[in-house]
């Protein structure tokens, strides 16, 4: 490109007023504040100018700017977090927001979000307090924990517990549990940030209670154990029983802290899955502080929950970091309503995660047959057996037998993209060049939207 060509393109760049007065720009931006629209226009003119200066060829700079402004305005007005139909078969799907909450939990969250609520007020006495009283009592009844605290996620829960109880101290942890989970969350890094010093004990595959005892000194602040939530070590392995570690910690007057991860309150074994430790089991074994997620197998909104001995929970709650990571009122309302499902014994009926885990296979097959019968074309579409995963760093390698629709196509990626970009977005998965929609993870009230989306894409294809 010659210099005169570049100069000509720069001269052809439109003024801010020209774009602001463009009919198409005005049509799409009637609800946009004028000052914000002006800022968008200036930014897009600057972006095109920079492209030209860097050597790009822009045949019609004014038209190019106009299109960029229209696109930017559309993006600003369109929410990114939209409804998604999860047909991937992954129940706790991290990329799709983990666990959907129950209808009642969602209503409770909406109510406190749009109204005033007695978040830190005891209505009976009229005095300040009460933020954690409801959830602490619920978890006491459900797990036996003396007290509980809710923060914004489990990483924060672990960080806060270690900061409050072990700052400047050593923390003993099995070498096999110095793990990394999703998003680059590494236990050794969290320990370092908390002000504690990691002391690894045992070996990668075998650790014994005596390995912990061998490193205990006056500098020890706690014993820590981390549940293998997203991987397995099999073969020649050994890990101490929680009750043995609890007895050792008690003997040396040290707290035993556990990062339990998914935070299940129910047993998954009746559904053919490997046993997943529950919060109740950890408390019963003598663990002093248990940290777990609210938005995985518990089935509530994003939260980290710290349960255990009352004196330790009070110390953790009083730490300055607790205020920085505490959960907001909507999360507290959602967690409380989710826990009420467990207290009423109705988790399998109302908590979506447990509805999906406990779903009857024959019901899933009949549901898929119904889906197929309502499609405009059944050519190349079959009902097949498939497998669902728990996901969310829970029960790695474990699957539940399921049923789904398969769409045979020479271009499964193109169909998947069309489904993803529809409204609502439909998320299938591709396996062995087959596009599969697993019925287990599609919410019951999304069936019609799924059928409509499939008909739209299949007709256009």
Per-residue pLDDT of 164-193, as tens digits, reads: 999 999 999 998 887 776 666 688 888 888
- Distance CA(80)–CA(394), nearest Å, equals 27
**Mean local confidence (pLDDT), 48-65:** 92
pLDDT at position 176: 84
Provide the H-helix boundaries in 2-120: 3-11, 16-20, 23-28, 34-53, 61-77, 103-114
Contact by Cβ (8 Å): 48, 9: no
Contact by Cβ (8 Å): 190, 155: yes
For 237-295, what is each residue's pLDDT tens digit? 788 999 999 999 999 999 999 999 888 999 999 999 988 999 999 999 999 999 999 99
Grouping H, G, I as helix, E, B as strand and the rest as coil, residue 148 is strand
Give me 458's structure tokens: 């299949």
- Distance CA(388)–CA(88), nearest Å, equals 8
Q: Which of 122-136, 224-238, 364-378 has the lowest mean pLDDT?
A: 224-238
Percent of the chain residues topping a pLDDT of 70:
96
End-to-end CA distance of the chain: 41
pLDDT at 435 over 60: yes
Percent of the chain residues topping a pLDDT of 90:
77
pLDDT at 1 over 80: no
Within its chain, how far is the Cα of 177 from the centroid?
22
Structural domains in the chain plus CATH codes = 3-77 (no CATH), 84-93+355-460 (3.90.1150.180), 102-350 (3.40.640.10)
pLDDT at position 230: 63
pLDDT at position 158: 94
Q: Indicate the average pLDDT of the chain.
A: 92
Determine if the pTM surpasses 0.85.
yes
How many Cα atoms occupy the beta-carbon half-sphere of 65 within 13 Å?
Answer: 28
User: pLDDT band at residue 229, thresholds of 50, 70 and 90?
Assistant: low
Give me 271's structure tokens: 């559904």
Kindly give, in sequence order, each residue whose CB lies less than 8 Å from that of residue 237, ignoring residues fewer than 6 positions away: 176, 205, 206
Query: Partners of 264 in the beta sheet?
Result: 278
Q: Which of 123-127, 226-230, 350-354 has the lowest mean pLDDT?
A: 226-230
Give me 397's structure tokens: 């390698």
Beta-carbon count within 10 A of 344 CB: 10
User: pLDDT band at residue 460, thresholds of 50, 70 and 90?
Assistant: confident
CA 88-406-460 angle, 5° bins:
95
Grouping H, G, I as helix, E, B as strand and the rest as coil, residue 290 is strand
Kindly give, in sequence order, each residue whose CB lies less than 8 Å from that of residue 357, ignoring residues fewer than 6 positions away: 91, 268, 271, 273, 390, 400
Contact by Cβ (8 Å): 147, 313: yes
pLDDT at position 237: 77
- Distance CA(137)–CA(140), nearest Å, equals 5
User: pLDDT band at residue 159, thresholds of 50, 70 and 90?
Assistant: very high
pLDDT at position 322: 96
Kindly give, in sequence order, each residue whose CB lies less than 8 Å from that of residue 69, ignoring residues fewer than 6 positions away: 19, 25, 40, 41, 44
For 262-278, what is each residue's pLDDT tens digit? 889 999 999 999 889 99
Which helix (H) or strand (E) covers residue 185, if one does? strand 185-186
pLDDT at 234 over 60: yes
For 330-371, what is each residue's pLDDT tens digit? 999 999 999 999 999 999 999 999 999 999 999 999 999 999
Q: What are phi and psi of 306, to 5 degrees?
A: -115, 115
Q: Which of 30-44, 98-112, 185-199 has the lowest mean pLDDT?
A: 185-199
For 140-151, what is each residue's pLDDT tens digit? 999 999 999 999
Q: Which of 13-17, 153-157, 430-434 has the lowest mean pLDDT?
A: 430-434
For 63-101, what is each residue's pLDDT tens digit? 999 999 999 999 999 888 889 999 999 999 999 999 999
- Distance CA(168)–CA(114), nearest Å, equals 43
pLDDT at position 396: 76
pLDDT at position 299: 97
Beta-carbon count within 10 A of 269 CB: 10
User: pLDDT band at residue 5, thresholds of 50, 70 and 90?
Assistant: confident
- Distance CA(94)–CA(62), nearest Å, equals 42
């Amino acid at each position: 490109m010659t210099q005169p060509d570049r100069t000509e393109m720069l001269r052809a760049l439109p003024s801010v007023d020209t774009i602001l007065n463009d009919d198409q720009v005005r049509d799409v931006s009637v609800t946009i504040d004028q000052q914000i629209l002006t800022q968008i226009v200036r930014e897009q003119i600057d972006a095109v100018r920079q492209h030209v200066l860097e050597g790009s060829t822009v045949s019609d700079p004014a038209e190019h700017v106009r299109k960029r402004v229209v696109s930017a305005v559309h993006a600003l007005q369109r929410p990114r977090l939209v409804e998604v139909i999860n047909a991937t078969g992954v129940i706790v799907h991290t990329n799709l927001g983990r666990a959907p909450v129950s209808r009642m939990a969602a209503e409770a969250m909406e109510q406190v979000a749009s109204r005033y609520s007695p978040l830190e007020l005891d209505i009976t006495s009229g005095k300040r307090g009460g933020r954690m009283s409801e959830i602490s009592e619920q978890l006491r009844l459900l797990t036996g924990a003396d007290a509980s605290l809710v923060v914004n996620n489990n990483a924060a829960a672990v960080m806060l517990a270690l900061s409050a109880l072990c700052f400047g101290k050593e923390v003993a942890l099995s070498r096999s549990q110095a793990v990394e989970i999703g998003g680059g969350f590494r236990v050794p890094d969290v320990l370092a940030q908390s002000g504690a010093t990691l002391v690894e004990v045992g070996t990668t595959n075998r650790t014994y209670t005596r390995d912990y005892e061998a490193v205990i000194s006056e500098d020890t602040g706690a014993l820590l154990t981390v549940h293998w939530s997203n991987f397995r070590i099999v073969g020649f392995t050994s890990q101490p029983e929680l009750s043995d570690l609890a007895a050792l910690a008690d003997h040396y007057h040290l707290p035993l802290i556990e990062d339990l991860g998914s935070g299940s309150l129910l047993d998954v074994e009746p559904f053919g899955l490997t046993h997943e430790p529950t919060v109740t089991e950890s408390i019963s074994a003598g663990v002093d502080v248990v940290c777990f997620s609210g938005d995985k197998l518990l089935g509530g909104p994003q939260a980290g929950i710290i349960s255990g001995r009352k004196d330790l929970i009070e110390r953790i709650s009083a730490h300055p970091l607790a205020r920085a990571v505490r959960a907001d009122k909507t999360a507290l309302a959602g967690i409380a309503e989710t826990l009420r499902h467990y207290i009423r014994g109705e988790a399998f009926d109302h908590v979506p995660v447990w509805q999906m885990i406990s779903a009857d296979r024959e019901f899933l097959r009949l549901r898929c047959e119904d889906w197929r019968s309502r499609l405009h074309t059944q050519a190349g579409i079959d009902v097949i057996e498939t497998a669902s995963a728990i996901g969310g760093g829970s029960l790695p390698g474990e699957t539940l037998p399921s049923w789904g629709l398969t769409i045979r196509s020479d271009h499964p990626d193109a169909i998947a993209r069309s489904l993803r970009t529809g409204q609502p977005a439909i998320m299938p998965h591709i396996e062995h060049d087959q596009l599969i929609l697993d019925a287990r993870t599609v919410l019951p009230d999304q069936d019609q939207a799924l059928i409509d989306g499939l008909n739209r894409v299949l007709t256009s294809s």
